[in-house]
Structure 1
Amino acid sequence: MRRYVNHQLMGVTMAVSASAIGALVAFGVRGIPEVDDDYGRQFIQFMFGFCVFAGLLGALPFVKHSEVRTFRTAVPLNEPAAVLPADHAANRHLLDSRFLLLLLVPSLIAALVWSPWAALFPLALAVEWLMRACLGIYWERRHGLLLWRGAVKEQPLDRGQFLYSSRRPGPPSADTRDTRGPQDPV
């Protein structure tokens, strides 16, 4: 189970990292290309525009498959204390080597074979993911809730269903209460 905003920011982090590594390798091997009419540069510009357009469509409530409509279908989380991670856990989840390789390898191959500008393709994806993260932050602040993505064993839902919980975990249940008694102040 992962918080929606953290999931999107992980994608942004991986896309920026993949673009930086790919650009270093591609521009190092093939050199920095001229800024003339290069099909690779035009393709990347088109992809940037397309991802911005897709990000804007996700923010519109009247579009059938928009993120805003999906957020409206979120259901409450039954046991929020069981899935809420510690504050330091969000930093661990911003790096995923498999996802980095998934973004890096195809763009690097295209950059070495076709055009060095193709190494910047993951940046186009980062734009849309950043827009989705901003939309998630806006939704969370507006509703005073946290939006979660993933599955919980005790609460089976449809794939792609979102869950929400309060910003603060509820009172501890009977089995998680501290039974040691009052602590001496230090």
Structure 2
Amino acid sequence: MTRYVHHQLMGAAMAVCACVISAPVVFGVRGIPAVDDDALWLVPLGVFGSIVFFGILGATRLKVVGEVRLFEAAVPLEDPGMIRPVDRSFRHNLVSTSFLCSLLLPALVMGLALSPWLALVHLPLALDWLIRAGIAARWEKRHGVLLWRGYVPDRPWELSYSSSEAAVQR
């Protein structure tokens, strides 16, 4: 069982690590391409702007894009003994080698085969995961609970919550 906020932060850390590893390799092999057209910078700015816009929409209760509805649908955690200490679960599980490899391999292949700029393809994912972590942390603070993933092993995407005091005491 992991905290939802920590899960999102771990994903963002892995996406940034994949970019930090793949970018020097790809740019070292293929070189940094020259950008002749200034309008080309509008594409990444548009992508990041739309991620921020949809992230702000995620902080609402809108039916399709609202993250808050998922948090409010979380079930209470019945056995507080299942909770690991909060700091331990984040510190020791920050790097997942299998997830890092699953992000790194496509970035390297696309960067080497298509365009060197595709080595940075996971930066928008990192921004999205950071925004989701911020939304969840804000919701947790307002409601005085902690959101958890993996309470039901068959359905790890479902969320549960526990009081923040139960995790602090352990």
Could you tell me the TM-score, scaled by structure 1's length? 0.79
Report the alpha carbon displacement of residue 159 of structure 1 after superposing the two structures with TM: 5.8
Distance 2:22 2:42 in 1: 18
Query: Which portions of structure 1, spanning 4 or more consecutive aligned residues, are displaced by more than 4 angstroms?
Result: 38-46
- Which residue number corresponds to residue 126 of structure 2? 126
Report the alpha carbon displacement of residue 2 of structure 1 after superposing the two structures with TM: 0.8
Q: Which of 158, 161, 166 is the equivalent residue of 1:161?
A: 158
Report the alpha carbon displacement of residue 48 of structure 1 after superposing the two structures with TM: 2.8
Residue identity over aligned pairs, in percent, reads: 48
Distance 1:106 1:68 in 2: 32
Distance 2:39 2:97 in 1: 30
Distance 2:50 2:105 in 1: 22
Query: Within 5 Å, which residues of 2 pair with 1:1-186?
Result: 1-37=1-37, 44-85=44-85, 87-152=87-152, 160-169=157-166
User: Which SS does the other structure have where 2:161 is aligned?
Assistant: strand
Report the alpha carbon displacement of residue 129 of structure 1 after superposing the two structures with TM: 0.2
Give CA-to-partner distance per residue, 1:69-108, whole Å, 9 cap, x none: 1111011100112223353232111110111111111111
Could you tell me the TM-score, scaled by structure 2's length? 0.86
Report the alpha carbon displacement of residue 57 of structure 1 after superposing the two structures with TM: 2.6
Computed over aligned residues only, the root mean square deviation of the Cα atoms, in angstroms, reads 2.5
User: Which structure is higher in helix share?
Assistant: 2
User: Which SS does the other structure have where 2:87 is aligned?
Assistant: coil
> Structure 2: which 5+ residue stretches go unaligned?
none
Give CA-to-partner distance per residue, 1:111-132, whole Å, 9 cap, x none: 1111111011111100000000
- Which residue number corresponds to residue 183 of structure 1? none
Distance 1:2 1:72 in 2: 18
> Structure 1: which 5+ residue stretches go unaligned?
173-186
